[in-house]
Structure formats: C-alpha cells, structure tokens
Structure 1
C-alpha cells in the first residue's frame, strides 16, 4: 500500500500542480530581484525600468495555468496585486515602500498576497485577541460553503435564476475563505497581525459603503493611490475640487473592470465580451451619482438604514446576475470549479485511505 500512496502523491504533483509550483517559484524569484533592485535604486525612473520586465512577466504567468482556482487566484495575486504594488514601490509609495525595514520574507508575502501589515505594533498580550470569534465566523462560512456544494447536486430541481443567486453567495464565500487562508498563511510566515479584507459586505448601507469600506479592501487601498488620487488631482483643475471625485471614481471602476476582464480571461481563455467592464462602469456611474446627490442634499436627508441595506444588496445582486456572472457561466467556470473541488475532495479521501491502511498493522 506504500506504493499506492506514492502513486496518489505522484498523481497530485503532476500536471497542474507542477505548473502551479513552477509559476510561483518564478514569481518569488522575480520578487527577490525586485527587493534587491529597490534597495539599490532610489530614482523612480530607474526603479520603474527595473520593475517593468517583472510586471510583464506577472501578466503572462497565469496563462501557464488552466485550473479555475489556480489561474484565478494566481492572476489576482500576481497580475493585479503584485504588479500594482510594484508600480507603487517604483515611486516610493504603497505597502512595499518601507523596503529598507522589511525583511525579504515579509516583502515576498506583502507583495503577492492580499494583505497589508498593520502600521502599529501589536502587543504580545493582545495577540490572539478576538481570534475565537474570527474562527467561529470563518467556521460558519466554511460550513455554508460546503452546504452550497451539496445544493448544487440538486440543481436540476432548482430554478436557473435561483441557481445564479446561489452563485453570488458562492463567489463571496469562496473569496472570503481564500483570502482568509492567504492571510493565515502570511500570519504564520511573518508572525504579524493582518488587516481584514472584507467587512461584512452584505451589511452595506450604500454603494459608497459597499465599495469603499466593505468589499475587497486591499483592492480599494491599491486603486486609491494608483488611480483615484492622480485623477482627482488632475480633475480638480478641470471641474473644481467639489466635483473632482466623480471622474476619479469612474476611472477607478474603469480600471477595475479591465482587470476583471483579464482575470476572467485567465479563467476561460474566452474572448472578452466587456459585460464585466459594463458592470463596473454601471456601478461607478451609480456611485458617482450617489456622491453627487449626497453633496447636493448636504446631510439634510438620507435613506433609513434598513432600506439602504436592502436596496444596496439588491442592486449588487441584480446587476451581478445580469452582467457579472454570464461570462463566467459561458466559459463553464462554475462547472469546472465544482469539478475541481470534487477532485480535491477525492484526492484527500484517497490520501486518508492510503495513510490509514499504511498505519494499520
């Protein structure tokens, strides 16, 4: 049975897993080069010239992968997060700008994972404070994720529109759990407390609350200095400081839409239909309108909190079902993703069975 265990492990290491390891080894070697270059070069122009080959490499590396989970997460971590962080580092900005005080392991973790180290030192007696509620929170979400997987077994009895609604929750839970695992891995590697990536987005009271303070906060923190603030400064001289946030918001959502098109291309290798970009431009327009209305009423009137929550969640869900999920379904991302989860479950069962048999007398 020892031979059977080796056979299972060999199967697991072949193909996509081997490509995944090769891609990330290339990424870490490239980031090590950037770490050294950042220490040696102080000029923004010199840094940018040194980083651009790595930025191009990170855009193409996810194309080496075909798994929905591997290609999607690698594309998000490298082509989006790492490239934007390196571009900020070139101009002495962003979470990597403290390179002289960052050790190489921390640099590698912060560069390619959706985390940001806290600026304030956490006292030892506070370490682990609140960890129990977090474990319960993620435990409940993990159980809901597994429950949704069981629901898919009866998809032939469920209305297609309801299935799409379930996909929305599936995507949110999947992202939350993947980012939580990445943060936990980083916590174990660098021993630091990390800022949360989501803040219960289903409690959002407005689009401004959803996109600015609750959904994928790392992306918000990256797009603000790289897109929002430069456009804000430029547009202030054109339309005035009062209305300058509006074109800045639209620029952020346009860039986000393009990056999501790239991620979806990694998932299915299907020519973009630009529905995802339209989704983000629609949300950007509505958010800009919301900001304009708030400025006009100047706090004299606002929606009741329960109504704001209901309308926000409904708008996000309806527009996602209309524009965001169809491209994912056309490339069969849902079917392939579920098949990958089932394959991992089968692999774990085989490993446990092989280990149990090996350990038995």
Structure 2
C-alpha cells in the first residue's frame, strides 16, 4: 500500500514538472518575441499593444501549475514581476529597456529577481546588503526541515505560536528560494541577485519595513511602475510636500490587488478581501506615519529609540498579519500542501535516481 502511494505521489510530481517545463518554454518563446519587439517597435502605445498579449499570457500560464513551490513561485515571477517589467518596457522604462541586453540577459531580467551586474553599486555596504553570506543562507535552509517537523506536533502547539512559526517559515522560505534562483542566474549568466530582504525584524517604522527591508524586489518593481506615476500626478493636485501620501496609498492598493491574485493562484479560491484589507490598513497607517513626520519636520532617522520602535513596528505587522493575512493563508492549507510537496519531490528524485 505504501509503495502504491509513493508511486502515485511520484507520478503526480512528474506530471507537474512536465507542465512546469511546458509553461517556461512558452515563457521563453513569448519573451523572445518581446525582445524582437524592442528592436522593431518604438516605445509608447504601439509597443504597449504588441506587449499586452504576453502580459495576458503570463496571467494564464500559472493556472496550468498546481503546486506551491512550482505554481505559486511561477505565478509571482510571471503575473507580477515579469508583467510589471513588461509594462515599464512598453514605455521605454525599467531594466528591459537597455538596448545593450542580449537575449539570454533579457529573458533572465524579465522574470527573475536579478539585475545586470553593471547596475550594482560597487560599495561594500551595498554588497553586504544585497548578497547574504552563504553561512546565513545555509542556516536558514536548515531551518526548513525543522519547521516541517514542527507541523507534525501542530495539535500540541498553541494556535498563536503556530502562526508565528508560519510567519518565520514564509520569511525563511521566500529568502532562500529567491537566493537560489538568483545564485543560479549569477553562475550561468553573470547576473547579480536583487536584494530581497534586509533583516525586516529590525525595522523601526512602517516606512522602514515596507520601503527598505521587506521584499525589496517588489518595492523596486512598484516604485517606477506605480509610485512615481502616482507621485507625478498627485504633485499637480496637492503640491510637492504632500504628493507622496496619495502615491503611497496607490502603491499599497496595487500591492493588495496583486497579492489577491497570487492567493487565487495558490488556493484557486475567490478572494475574501482580507488580504486587501491588510494592505489598505498598512497603506493608511504608513500615510499617517509619513504625514506626521512631514508635519513635525522629522527625518527618517529621528523618532522613537530603536529599542522601542523595532518591537512596536514588528509587533504591529505580526498582529495585523495574524488578523487579516494568515486566515486566507490557512484556508489555502499551504503548510500541509508544502509538506506533501516535499514528500512528492523526494519520491520523484528517488525514482529518477533509480532509473539512472
């Protein structure tokens, strides 16, 4: 009976991997088309019209994948990261608009959390922030099986403590996955990893957390595509001093929509809008925080002492996350599915090794 179950799991994983390969072959073909567009179609409405079919394709392709590790990560890279870069590319902005890019570099930059090496700041400070040490990543990678083992005793752990474990698992898993992708791109194409996280548990304000420390790759995608256009528009209405406030809110609204989409790919469930409420709440709170700083004339380095500000900030993120973010995450049964996928991947690679 156990052998039959293992064979079913391995076969299911084999089918998912085949679908994954087909999806990414289509991605390579469609982005190669975009690369040719950059050489033949001028930026602006014409390039936008020729690029939109690829944007819609990137929204549909993740529906062919059903696992968390392959499906949700592909959805994030394609439906969010790649599409935002393609929309900027249509108007001659963003990393894809560099005319010196070769086709392999264009493909990698389009949908992976990386940047061209020449874009790096050579300073030691930037390198230390952008590329974590192998020792750091090694420790975090070793934590993942410990999290999975802890889920076996979930019935004996307080629900609130389980949510804390989930939060840490998500952070460690995201950082490790993105580091692996970036490392492969760096080894094969000479392209550097985008900084992903900068110790978000040390954040001293919401501005520090969302703007400088948490998922920096997403921040860098949202800034030129949503924040700066909204800033330019709001400057005409509110003036330079207060223009960042509606721009911040617009950015969080865009982030809320994209998170709802990613959660749809994860659970194939229509949104309950709790995720949107989470990001709108944080957007409003960040607007208030920035407004108070502007009103009082405070710089980003002034305010409460770090020893007080950091626990308050991280505590607020965690409490609101438990309230609005994690319920949808739990409804997707993500952690149980992740454990099964690790088992399926193990069975698949065992069968593959035996076949060899």
User: Scaled by the length of structure 1, what TM-score is found?
Assistant: 0.89
What are the Cα deviations for residues 137-160 of structure 1, in whole angstroms up to 9, with x where unaligned? 000111122211111111111011
Structure 2 equivalent of residue 288 of structure 1: 287
Structure 1 equivalent of residue 158 of structure 2: 159
Indicate the larger mover: 72-81 or 145-154. 145-154
Indicate the larger mover: 129-138 or 41-50. 129-138
What are the Cα deviations for residues 191-230 of structure 1, in whole angstroms up to 9, with x where unaligned? 1333321111111111101111111111111111111111
- Alpha-carbon contact 2:43-2:92 (below 8 Å) kept: no
Matches of 2:109 and 2:335 in 1, distance apart? Answer: 30
Q: How does 1:192-341 map to 2 (within 5 A)?
A: 192-299=191-298, 302-341=303-342
Structure 2 equivalent of residue 16 of structure 1: 16
Matches of 1:222 and 1:286 in 2, distance apart? Answer: 22
Name the SS of the counterpart of 1:102 in structure 2: coil
Aligned length: 344
- Alpha-carbon contact 1:116-1:195 (below 8 Å) kept: yes
Residues 195 and 279 of structure 1: is their aligned pair in 2 closer, same or farther, counting only changes over 3 Å? same
Matches of 2:140 and 2:59 in 1, distance apart? Answer: 31
Structure 1 equivalent of residue 134 of structure 2: 135
Matches of 1:269 and 1:116 in 2, distance apart? Answer: 32
Matches of 1:290 and 1:347 in 2, distance apart? Answer: 50
Q: CA deviation at 1:344?
A: 1.8
Residues 155 and 229 of structure 1: is their aligned pair in 2 closer, same or farther, counting only changes over 3 Å? same
Q: CA deviation at 1:299?
A: 2.5
Q: How does 1:95-134 map to 2 (within 5 A)?
A: 95-98=95-98, 100-120=99-119, 134=133
Matches of 1:130 and 1:252 in 2, distance apart? Answer: 24
Indicate the larger mover: 41-50 or 264-273. 41-50
Structure 2 equivalent of residue 42 of structure 1: 42
Q: CA deviation at 1:57?
A: 0.5
- Alpha-carbon contact 2:256-2:275 (below 8 Å) kept: yes
Unaligned runs of 5+ in 2: 1-6
Matches of 2:289 and 2:131 in 1, distance apart? Answer: 37
- Alpha-carbon contact 1:141-1:173 (below 8 Å) kept: yes
Q: How does 1:10-89 map to 2 (within 5 A)?
A: 11=11, 14-89=14-89
Matches of 1:133 and 1:174 in 2, distance apart? Answer: 14
What are the Cα deviations for residues 67-105 of structure 1, in whole angstroms up to 9, with x where unaligned? 12222101100000111101101111001110x201111
Structure 2 equivalent of residue 176 of structure 1: 175
Structure 2 equivalent of residue 4 of structure 1: none
Q: CA deviation at 1:117?
A: 2.1
Name the SS of the counterpart of 1:213 in structure 2: helix
Q: CA deviation at 1:331?
A: 2.2
User: Scaled by the length of structure 2, what TM-score is found?
Assistant: 0.91
- Alpha-carbon contact 2:130-2:194 (below 8 Å) kept: no
Residues 142 and 14 of structure 1: is their aligned pair in 2 closer, same or farther, counting only changes over 3 Å? closer
Residues 200 and 230 of structure 1: is their aligned pair in 2 closer, same or farther, counting only changes over 3 Å? same
- Alpha-carbon contact 1:145-1:174 (below 8 Å) kept: yes
Residues 250 and 335 of structure 1: is their aligned pair in 2 closer, same or farther, counting only changes over 3 Å? same
What are the Cα deviations for residues 266-298 of structure 1, in whole angstroms up to 9, with x where unaligned? 011111001101100011111111101111221
Q: CA deviation at 1:342?
A: 2.3
Unaligned runs of 5+ in 1: 1-6
Name the SS of the counterpart of 1:32 in structure 2: helix
Indicate the larger mover: 171-180 or 9-18. 9-18
Q: CA RMSD in A?
A: 2.4
Residues 104 and 167 of structure 1: is their aligned pair in 2 closer, same or farther, counting only changes over 3 Å? same
